[in-house]
A and B are shown apart, each in its own frame.
Chain A
Amino acid sequence: MIRIPCPFCGTRDHSEFTYGGDGTIEYPALDAPKEDWHDAVFLRDNVCGMQLETWHHVHGCRMWLLVERDTLTHEIHSVRPAHPGLAAMFETDQEAGE
């Protein structure tokens, strides 16, 4: 079992989450050329090693998270909210706390 430290709920079993996928994909603008959409939808780096990926805490707070995980060892390096605003809030909280 992978244990994921959710910033909102604490450390939980991965079975509470749904794996989203590669977190580095940037979806192009809606009117971008179809080649750009092809690449974003169909092509993957498929990293063996540290990967940035999305997880949904679907049986918890229901927040989307960005997780850095090693795809070979399953070691988790970092977890932060996927929403950039919330992630920034967390960072300021941490700095204020230090």
Chain B
Amino acid sequence: MTRFSAWSVFWNGITGQKGWGRQWRDPEPKPHYDIVIVGGGLHGLATAYYLAANHGLKNIAVLEKGWLGGGNAGRNTTIVRSNYARPGNREFYEHSLKLWENLSHELNYNVMFSQRSHIALLHSPGAIDAAARNYNTMRMTGTPDAEIWDLAALKRAVPHLNYSDTARFPIMGAAVQKRAGTARHDAVAWGYARGADAHGVDILQQCEVQGIARDGDSVSTLETSRGSIRAGKVAFAVAGNTSRLWNMAGLGKLPIESHKLQAFVSEPLKPLLDQVVVFGIGGAHFYMSQSDKGGMVFGGDLDWYKSYAQRGNLPIVQDVSEAAMSILPCLGRVKLLRHWSGLVDMSMDGTHFICKTPLANLYLNAGWNYGGFKATPASGWYFADLIANDRPHDRIRNYDLKRFERGLQIDERGAGPDPKLHG
């Protein structure tokens, strides 16, 4: 693998960009691997990278049924933040944010992490109080950049929002995390893939797991579209397809439902919005940022019914457009270019699972809801730690499948055990 540097960019610039080679190999599957990761999204690739880089493990494969980053990895709205308030989550996401801050250097690959601030609009004194409680909790537990802004500060930073007093929900202030922002999702998948490959990990695309053979209480062989693969340890990181894999392993039910979530991008505009802005009140749920190419990137609610179809419905297009117009009316004549949807693994309390399973050599990474992009580095870091050491790190002890049996729900939203409500 050639390392990227200012010099290599310069040299290729003056020699016609002819010096760039493949960034990762395209190997044939081997009959046996010590560790097989199913799912070549962000979490699977990050896990493979940290297994090799942090734990020095060899003979690892990542199996992806389509192409790298073709799942939620390449479909999300790329928001990265750590403004979580429940114990466990805030430490986990803050660790993730710290890993993000050094990720381009760690991977020698520009993931275009842009810490442009995450601004959540507030519309009532009650909402300001609730946000102050959460953001004070963050400040006291290791996230120093949590701020509550009054209207004057908000108007200075984002002057062109709809500040009308007669709006249905007038804006009264904002909860702000300044180190939050966005990153280039494809680059994150490619960067981890390239890094893992450089450590000898085999990345096998067009390799779908279609059946799972067990030897008593462990997984023995994966039947794939590219032949049988025996595995010492198996790890699932397949997002919305988790229940299907779980069934192939003969394991029954899970506290997860698959739903679809849409994203939207407009035609490219000149620089218009420097931050991530979030609008959520009275049934509206909307977040937007501007990509480096100039497109306005929008996201909203789930499509509201369980689905495995990776295509979005029209009522949400209307919802999201209405929300966009109500907070940034200058978008009125802008055309939406594309919308698409991804298959998200909604869990019963809105929090994820990184854990061991009823099978001795099977490990699970799932339940990422809307929020698995920001979690990518920490998810891979802790999942690799779990697989390598065969025991959960203290910090992920409560991300197991049994927490509901213990009466524990890590429910940031306070929405209760209904997966579609954990947006």
Beta-carbon contact of B305 and A46 below 8 Å: no
* 5 closest Cβ pairs, A-B complex: A46-B243, A19-B305, A43-B253, A42-B404, A15-B315
Residues in B whose Cβ lies below 8 Å from that of A46: 243, 253-254, 256-258, 306
Residues in A whose Cβ lies below 8 Å from that of B243: 44-48
Residues of chain A whose beta carbon lies under 8 Å from any beta carbon of chain B: 1-2, 13-15, 18-19, 21, 35, 38-39, 41-48, 51, 53, 71-74
Of residues A19, A21, A46, A48, which shows the largest number of chain B Cβ atoms within 10 Å of its Cβ? A46
Smallest CB separation, A58 vs chain B (Å): 12
Beta-carbon contact of B257 and A44 below 8 Å: yes
Beyond the given A72-B307, A73-B309, please list 20 additional residue pairs across the A-B interface where CB-CB is below 8 A.
Answer: A1-B313, A1-B314, A13-B315, A14-B305, A15-B315, A19-B305, A19-B420, A21-B257, A41-B348, A43-B252, A43-B254, A43-B255, A44-B254, A44-B255, A44-B419, A45-B243, A46-B254, A48-B258, A71-B306, A71-B309
Q: Can you list 14 A-B pairs, Cβ within 8 angstroms, ordered by A?
A: A1-B313, A13-B315, A21-B420, A38-B405, A39-B253, A41-B417, A42-B404, A43-B254, A45-B253, A46-B253, A47-B243, A48-B258, A71-B309, A72-B307
- Residue interface bits B278-322, CB-to-A below 8 A is 1, else 0: 000000000000000000000000001111110001110000000
Smallest CB separation, A57 vs chain B (Å): 14
Beta-carbon contact of A2 and B404 below 8 Å: no
User: How far is A73 from B309 in the complex, measured between Cα atoms in Å?
Assistant: 7
User: How far is A42 from B406 in the complex, measured between Cα atoms in Å?
Assistant: 12
Cβ of B393 < 8 Å from any Cβ of A? no
Cβ of B391 < 8 Å from any Cβ of A? no
Smallest CB separation, B391 vs chain A (Å): 24
Cβ of B274 < 8 Å from any Cβ of A? no
Cβ of B101 < 8 Å from any Cβ of A? no
Interface size range on B against A:
20 to 34
- Residue interface bits B25-63, CB-to-A below 8 A is 1, else 0: 000000000000000000000000000000000000000
A42's contact among B252, B258, B348, B420, by CB below 8 Å, is which? B348
User: How far is A35 from B404 in the complex, measured between Cα atoms in Å?
Assistant: 10
Beta-carbon contact of A48 and B255 below 8 Å: no
Smallest CB separation, A42 vs chain B (Å): 4
- Residue interface bits B389-423, CB-to-A below 8 A is 1, else 0: 00000000000000011000000000001111000
Beta-carbon contact of A42 and B308 below 8 Å: no
- Closest chain B residue, CB of each to CB of A55: B305
Beta-carbon contact of A51 and B306 below 8 Å: yes
- Closest chain A residue, CB of each to CB of B314: A1
Beta-carbon contact of B306 and A19 below 8 Å: yes
Beta-carbon contact of B307 and A74 below 8 Å: yes
- Residue interface bits B242-285, CB-to-A below 8 A is 1, else 0: 01100000001111111000000000000000000000000000
Residues in A whose Cβ lies below 8 Å from that of B418: 21
- Closest chain A residue, CB of each to CB of B406: A38
